[in-house]
Amino acid sequence: MEEAQYLDWNNSIQILNKAYEAGLFVLIIGPKGTGKTSLVRDFAKNKNINLDSINFSLRTRESHLVGTKTLTDGTVSFDEGLLIKSMKSGDILYLDEINSAEADVLLRLDEALDDRRQIVLKESTDEVIKAKENWFVVSTINPLSHSGTKELPPQLLSRFPVRIRLEYPPENIELEIIKKYASGNHESEMIQAIKLANTLRQAAAVEELFYSPSLRETIAFAKLLDKGMAAKEVAEIIFGNVYTQWGDIEYQKVNDIITSMFGN
């Protein structure tokens, strides 16, 4: 999304740096929109190392990681996947939402991530690909409450001995982050929106609501305020209307909260 300076509010960059120096792979755990991707991008940018990213889903196949045979003009060649490319180049490999992948994909990944850091290209020549010395892997998982996520097998978890928790930031920090994307002219309304977001997040955490707004929403709120819209209307558009997806009762619950915080 936007290119703003990452605010390292819980010392995550330093942990990533130490892990990198020690050659220990890192797992970042946290809900959507808490800055996981931005953190890793910022880390790679500071290190001036290329970042190869794979976003996992149920549709991700082994061939996406390892590669596929292709036939051009009667000649068979092998198109290397991102996993192989990054191992060979010693880039940083970013495995996003790794716990939404199927078990067979994870198993193949595990082969590359174990202490030997190598993988057999059974898809083509049976060549053994060995990772460059400084190859580094960072992955993210969403907490299990997120739809479509599965538990990561313990064996694979153990490949990432450094674990960083990234939660929603404290109120004052969230305000500081939002100001990187917006003018900051409407501070009291922005604080109200963060309070609203936190109320909804807490309700979602105890399953009173089905959806938890992220920093993307509080940032979007500030941007629309900058366009001259009224705070209450923006709150409805960004925070309220989405709950219609789960029916009128869910929507009305949130709308009442918005009215109580932003007036009629």
CB of 142 to Mg ion, least distance (A): 9
Q: Of these partners, Mg ion, ligand ADP, none, which one is at the site of residue 206 (CB under 5 to 8 Å by kind)?
A: none
36 is a site residue for ligand ADP (CB under 6 A): yes
Q: Of these partners, Mg ion, ligand ADP, none, which one is at the site of residue 33 (CB under 5 to 8 Å by kind)?
A: ligand ADP
CB of 67 to ligand ADP, least distance (A): 26
Q: Of these partners, ligand ADP, Mg ion, none, which one is at the site of residue 2 (CB under 5 to 8 Å by kind)?
A: ligand ADP
For ligand ADP, the binding residues in 198-257 under the rule CB under 6 A are: 215-216, 219
Q: Which is nearer to ligand ADP, 192 or 212 (CB)?
A: 212
Q: Of these partners, ligand ADP, Mg ion, none, which one is at the site of residue 13 (CB under 5 to 8 Å by kind)?
A: none
Among residues 94, 80, 86, the alpha carbon closest in space to that of 41 is found at: 94
Instruction: Say if strands 75-80 and 67-72 run parallel, antiparallel, or are unpaired.
Output: antiparallel
Residues that bind ligand ADP (CB under 6 A): 1-2, 4, 6-7, 9, 32-38, 177, 180, 215-216, 219
